Amino acid sequence: MTKTAFITGITGQDGSYLAELLLSKGYEVHGLVRRASTFNTHRIDHIYVDAHDPDARIFFHYGDLSDSEMISHVLYNIKPDEIYHLGAQSHVRVSFETPEYTGNVTALGTTRILEAIRRSNPAIRFYQASSSEMFGHIAPPQNEESCFWPRSPYACAKLYAYWMTRNYRDGYNMFTCNGILFNHESPRRGEIFVTRKITRGIAAILAGKEKYLYLGNLEAKRDWGFTPEYVECMWQILQQDTPDDYVIGTGETHTVQEFVDAAFAYAGLDPEKHVKIDQKYFRPTEVEALLADPSRAEKKLGWKAKIKFSELVKIMVDADMKAAGLSPVGEGYEILDKKFPGRWWGRD
């Protein structure tokens, strides 16, 4: 029987890859889309099929995570088997400028969905997009048993949502799970996250459009993985016999400086000549070092990251060079061909 999934955040990086994955598995996919004065569906336009088409299996619903009535209405109408809650104000630095809004959408948005599930059909399986940012100041490596020490309004909001997800599981016996994902990137990563900012910046420099790339703290360490692999995990987490929480990451950590150096070297540029520091990109409180210990996911889900740091850098630089109308170096595409033969990932 065809399963029905509802994805919040379908227009974002993760939502777009997850929608592709679920369609490829035969799901009927419904997504929450915010009304904007300009089109915001560019990441999913290639999989959209007009609802009048009898073969259409993807449907959009206008709404917002601040609107609980709308969420209840959508759940009542589409009767999903699974909900992947990816929608959020997802940017850490922006959350310092919009702490109340971030709390409303990123924290309370989760409660609104959990309540709608509890009242309509507690059998719906629910995935919460939790974040490694919740570990914050806790020394690496971090796993499911680590404490939390959030260091931004974003991380505080995600931690509230994490605990609500666990409480609905414990209190109401609902199938609610947290995927605690470490940073994951791709050619579709939002343009103001540091990896994409660097790879787009390199393409702009090579195309002669920019001379400098302005960055903040280059000492911070992150565990960066490849998004298409991470959305596989989201699906796997909801297919288990029992609900649980999982840390997902590569088990490798690198500084922002290392990302800069690797990406510039791959593109044949000297970062000394192009990278400048701008204080405005520093945060009031920083998360210094994130490093996943994904052993539970490896053991229980059989999941292990295939794409590691240096390969990710090449995939992202190639894609942004191509997007800028330049000839990619090409190694990034070779990696994708080798590790994911026949897949479309990272080519757009």
Tell me which of 80, 87, 103, 346 binds ligand NDP, using CB under 6 A.
87
CA dihedral 310, 280, 40, 34 (to 10 degrees): 120
HSE on the CB side for 241, CA within 13 Å?
Answer: 1
- CA 46 to chain CA centroid, Å, is 19
**Contact status: 177 vs ligand NDP (CB under 6 A):** no
Could you give the CA distance from residue 284 to residue 229 in angstroms, rounded to a whole number?
32
Taking residue 161's Cβ as centre, other Cβ atoms within 10 Å add up to 26
Tell me which of 22, 29, 74, 256 binds ligand GDP, using CB under 6 A.
256
Tell me which of 281, 310, 324, 347 binds ligand GDP, using CB under 6 A.
281
160 given a catalytic annotation? no
Residue nearest to ligand GDP (CB): 220
Task: Output DSSP code: residue 132.
Answer: G
Given the structure tokens 């060079």, which residue do they identify?
Answer: 321
Could you give the CA distance from residue 243 to residue 114 in angstroms, rounded to a whole number?
15
Spatial contact of 92 and 220, defined as CB atoms under 8 Å apart: no
CB closer to ligand GDP, 4 vs 13: 13
CB closer to ligand NDP, 132 vs 328: 132
Find the binding residues for ligand NDP in span 19-78 (CB under 6 A).
32, 34, 36, 40, 64-66
Q: Where are the alpha helices (DSSP H) in 209-330?
A: 227-238, 256-267, 271-274, 295-296, 309-323
Find the binding residues for ligand GDP in span 171-200 (CB under 6 A).
183, 192-194, 197
Dig out the tokens for 139 from the structure: 């020394």
CB closer to ligand NDP, 271 vs 320: 320
The type of residue at 111 is T
CB closer to ligand GDP, 12 vs 80: 12
**Contact status: 222 vs ligand GDP (CB under 6 A):** yes
CA terminus-to-terminus distance, the chain: 32
**Contact status: 140 vs ligand GDP (CB under 6 A):** no
Spatial contact of 314 and 266, defined as CB atoms under 8 Å apart: yes
Task: Output DSSP code: residue 56.
Answer: -
133 given a catalytic annotation? yes
**Contact status: 153 vs ligand NDP (CB under 6 A):** no
230 given a catalytic annotation? no
Find the binding residues for ligand NDP in span 97-136 (CB under 6 A).
105, 129, 131
Could you give the CA distance from residue 219 to residue 289 in angstroms, rounded to a whole number?
9
- Give counts: helices (H), strands (E), the chain: 13, 13
Tell me which of 4, 5, 6, 15 binds ligand NDP, using CB under 6 A.
15
65 binds, among ligand GDP, ligand NDP, none (CB under 5 to 8 A by kind): ligand NDP
286 binds, among ligand GDP, ligand NDP, none (CB under 5 to 8 A by kind): ligand GDP
How far from 220 is each of 50, 95, 253, 308, CA to CA, in Å? 44, 18, 10, 18
**Contact status: 92 vs ligand GDP (CB under 6 A):** yes
222 binds, among ligand NDP, ligand GDP, none (CB under 5 to 8 A by kind): ligand GDP
Active site residues: 131, 133, 154
- Interacting residues toward ligand GDP by CB under 6 A: 92-93, 133, 183, 192-194, 197, 215-217, 220, 222, 256, 281, 283, 286
- Interacting residues toward ligand NDP by CB under 6 A: 8-9, 11-15, 32, 34, 36, 40, 64-66, 86-90, 105, 129, 131, 181, 183-184, 190
